[in-house]
Structure 1
Amino acid sequence: MSIKEGFLIELERETANTRRIVERLEDKHLSWKPHVKSMSAGELAGHVVELHNWVAGGLGLVEFDFHQHYVPFKPTTVAEILAKLDDGYEKNVAMINALSDEDWSSLWKLKAGEHVIAEMPKIGAMRFIIQNHLVHHRGQLSVYLRMLDIPVPGIYGPSADDNNV
Structure 2
Amino acid sequence: MYTSSIQKNILAELNHELTQTRRILERVPFEQADYKPHPKSMSLWQLATHVVNLLAFKTLFVTHDSRDFLDPNAPKPGPTPTSMGELLARFDEYSATLKQELQQSDDEKLSHNFKLHRGEHVVFDYPKATAIRIMGLNHSIHHRGQLTVYLRMLDIPVPGLYGPSADEK
**Match for residue 10 of structure 2 among 7, 10, 31:** 7
Q: What are the equivalent positions in structure 2 for 1:39-78 lying under 5 Å apart?
A: 39-68=42-71, 69=74, 71=76, 74-78=80-84
Q: What are the equivalent positions in structure 2 for 1:14-163 lying under 5 Å apart?
A: 14-68=17-71, 69=74, 71=76, 74-163=80-169
Deviations 1:69-119 (A, max 9, x none): 353552222221111110011111111012121111111101122321111
Relative to the length of structure 1, the TM-score reads 0.92
Deviations 1:53-84 (A, max 9, x none): 32223321100222333535522222211111
Counterpart of 1:127, as a letter, is R
The whole-number CA distance in structure 2 between the counterparts of 1:58 and 1:101 is 13
Contact 1:55 1:95 in 2 (8 A): no
**Count of aligned pairs between the two proteins:** 163
Contact 1:154 1:162 in 2 (8 A): yes
Counterpart of 1:67, as a letter, is L
Counterpart of 2:49, as a letter, is G
Percentage identity across paired residues of the two chains:
45
RMSD over equivalenced CA pairs, Å: 1.4
**Secondary structure of the corresponding residue to residue 67 of structure 1:** coil
Cα distance change of structure 1 residues 139 and 70 upon mapping to structure 2, 3 Å threshold: farther
Query: Which sections of structure 1, spanning at least 5 residues, go unmatched?
Result: none
Deviations 1:116-144 (A, max 9, x none): 11111111101101111010010000000
The whole-number CA distance in structure 1 between the counterparts of 2:9 and 2:122 is 28
**Secondary structure of the corresponding residue to residue 53 of structure 1:** helix
Deviations 1:32-70 (A, max 9, x none): 111110000110011111112322233211002223335
The whole-number CA distance in structure 2 between the counterparts of 1:57 and 1:79 is 25
Query: Which sections of structure 2, spanning at least 5 residues, go unmatched?
Result: none
Cα distance change of structure 1 residues 47 and 70 upon mapping to structure 2, 3 Å threshold: farther
**Secondary structure of the corresponding residue to residue 114 of structure 2:** strand
| Runs of 4+ in structure 1 over 4 Å off | none
